[in-house]
Amino acid sequence: MRRMAYLTRRCLTALPAVVSVTWITGLTLVGLLASAAIDKDAATASRLEEVRERGTLVMLTRNGASSYFVEGDGPSGPEYALARQFADELGVDLEVRVADGFKDLSRLLQKGEGDLIAAHLTRTPARVERFRFSLPYAETRALVVVRQGLRLPESVEDLVGLRGAVAAGTSFEEFLEQAGETVEGLEWRAEKGVGEEDLLHAVAEGEYEYTLVDERVFGLHRRYYPNVRESFTLGGEQDLAWAFLRDDDDSLVQAANLFLRATRENGTLAAIERRFFQPQEPLDAIAMGHLQDSMRDRLPHFLPFFLEAAEHNGLDWRLLAAMGYQESLWDPLATSPTGVRGMMMLTLNTAESLGVDDRLDPLQSIRGGAEYFVRLHASLPERIAEPDRSWFTLAAYNIGMGHLEDARRLTENQGGDPDVWEDVRKRLPLLAQEKYHSKTRYGYARGYETVAFVDNVRRFFETLVWMDTRSHPLLAEHVVTAP
């Protein structure tokens, strides 16, 4: 089992802080937690007191888009974001322990190696017998998806004769087991050590003909699997909740329930939902006409900044401008759901390390982006030559150097050249598949988004070069007159 522990108390920059919420009784959440812990000998307060005295809340989870992953400067994911705020409310640090499989989560909780399971877990009858669940923080449904080209199934009976698979230990396995009791000929496998994205890929490639996925996860990733179609939902809505030990001590789950009620009322849950599950349109779908409009209306205001930062750092201003367009459409006030801000979309940690104190200042942002690019460029092995070196740098700018190194090692293990961008480009999407990212140092990453990021920047860069070298009217006048 691979363990990854991150101890932090830093508040999320992209989400509203969880504050003490006044209830009808007039007590605050903090007050209720404190009153629950007055008597240390009381059985209902022992586990909560243990967490507070230890100073750490241990979260058991799985690596993936719906729960926890490392991105950019550090840990992320919807479960991590919510659990970290719960830990902050308790006044303790958050430690993350990542399990290899869904069944491992239960084992680790029973062994006392974690305080709660926060892994996009649905509340099913079978699980209620094993765990004590918190109040739900979201709802979802099981979605049946099939390979493109097949007749679209409308019911479980229509799946007979098709080859299917689900992740072992999930509620999807429970669904098919129940369905198999009444539907003869249902063919499927429970795959161990895989995630939903692995199975989406397997269906897209024809290894299986159908699988079950969380409808929210599929909505987020469907554009990356054009060969997979949704067909119907199996069962009704299911509650997503945290799981705790099922025994006589409910102090921690009661504290969690108070916290979850507060986050629903103050908008934190809605903000996390928007941040992690609201699909974003890929920038490669933006028409060239939009780029030209932006060159006419926006670029002239910021071109001097790109020229100055590029000259100071020994870069091509057109590459730097292409990055700015891909990141923000040359909008100095841009803010993403993940908390990155400004023209060059710098994270708070990166900005601080570069001495950028105002990410919304376009000059500071462009200078910071240029310096960060140079820093990443210099950290790559010297043997990597141009232009691949710049494409690798763009990838690290988007996904982080740790994940890029994971992709390079994966490329080498598969017989590719880790110093050739095209070879690594083919492997980056594999970081979203569990059978690959479970063997890497930094785990899950949306590598397919990084491929799109680099492709888009290159396309915009080539367009700017083409226009610049031909003295295109949209560029020529502004470049000549810029100081």
Check if 29-136+241-277 and 139-238 are the same fold: yes
Whole-angstrom Cα distance, residue 299 to residue 51? 53
Render pLDDT for 263-312 as a digit per residue (tens, 0 to 9). Answer: 999 988 988 888 888 765 443 444 466 777 788 888 999 999 999 999 99
Summarised one tens digit per residue, pLDDT across range 418-454 is: 999 999 999 999 999 888 998 999 999 999 999 999 9
* Candidates 95, 173, 215, 327; catalytic one: 327
CATH for the 283-481 domain, from 1.10.606.20, 2.60.40.1180, 1.10.530.10, 3.40.50.10420: 1.10.530.10
Least confident piece of the model among 27-36, 104-113, 239-248, 284-293? 27-36
Q: What is the 3-state secondary structure (H, E, C) of 268-292?
A: HHHHHHHHHHCCCCCHHHCCHHHHH
Q: Distance between the two ends of the chain, CA-based, in angstroms?
A: 57
Q: What is the pTM of this model?
A: 0.67
List pLDDT tens digits, range 152-182: 999 999 999 999 999 888 888 888 988 888 9
Instruction: Give the whole-angstrom CA distance, residue 182 versus residue 427.
Output: 42
Residue 336 pLDDT > 70, yes or no?
A: yes
Extents of the domains making up the chain? 29-136+241-277, 139-238, 283-481
Secondary structure letter of residue 68 according to DSSP: B
Which segment of 57-71, 144-158, 390-404, 458-472 scores lowest on mean pLDDT?
A: 458-472
Among 37-41, 396-400, 432-436, the minimum mean pLDDT is found in 37-41
Q: Which helix (H) or strand (E) holds 240?
A: strand 228-240
Ramachandran assignment for 380, one of left (phi > 0), alpha (psi -120 to 50 degrees), beta (any other): beta
Task: Tell me, yes or no, if 327 is annotated catalytic.
Answer: yes
Classify domain 29-136+241-277 by CATH number.
3.40.190.10
So what's the pLDDT on residue 294?
84
Tokens of 90: 């308790």
Give the fold, CATH level 3, of 139-238: D-Maltodextrin-Binding Protein; domain 2 (3.40.190)
Long-range contacts of 348-351 (CB under 8 A, 24+ apart): 348/13, 348/73, 349/72, 349/73, 349/74, 350/72, 350/73
User: Mean pLDDT for the chain?
Assistant: 84
CA distance 200 to 195: 9
What is the reported pLDDT for 20? 31
Q: How far is CA 363 from CA 163, 198, 296, 317, in A?
A: 56, 42, 19, 14
